[in-house]
Amino acid sequence: MRLSSQTVAVVQALKGNGRTWSYGYDLSKVTGLKSGTLYPILARLYDEGWLETKWEQSAEPGRPPRHLYRLTAVGSLAASRALNTAATNTRGQRPVYET
C-alpha cells in the first residue's frame, strides 16, 4: 500500500489516539485535510483491514449518526511499520511505501 503524506498524517493521528474511537471531523481538524481527501483515505485504510468503524447515534434529536474510526490490532502494527518507513524515507526524500 502506497502511503502519501496525507495518509501518513491520518495514520499518525489515529496512532496517536491508541484504541480510542475518532470522528472523521476530529481527524480532519488534526490533519488539516478536507473531507474529499480524508474520507477516501479512511475508506482505503478500512479496505486494507487497518481500521474498524462504527456508527454512533446522536444524543440530539434530528442530528444524523456519526461515523467513528480506530485502528485494528493489525492496523496498529502496520501503522507503526509504515510510520517508521515514512520517517526513514523522509530523511532520504524517496517515495513512501509501506513494508
Q: Is residue 94 domain-resident?
A: no
pLDDT at 99 over 50: no
Number of separate domains in the chain: 1
Query: What's this model's pTM, rounded to 2 decimal places?
Result: 0.81
In a domain, 26, yes or no: yes
Cα–Cα distance for residue pair 9/26, rounded to 1 Å:
13
**What is the span of the domain harbouring residue 37?**
5-83
Grid cell in block for residue 16? 496517536
What pLDDT does 58 receive? 85
Question: Which of 28, 32, 34, 97 is CA-nearest to residue 69?
Answer: 28
Q: Give the model confidence (pLDDT) of 8-19 as tens digits.
A: 999 999 998 888
- Listing DSSP states for 34-57 in one string gives -HHHHHHHHHHHHHTTSEEEEEE-
What does the pLDDT look like over 43-65, one tens digit per residue? 999 999 999 999 999 888 999 99
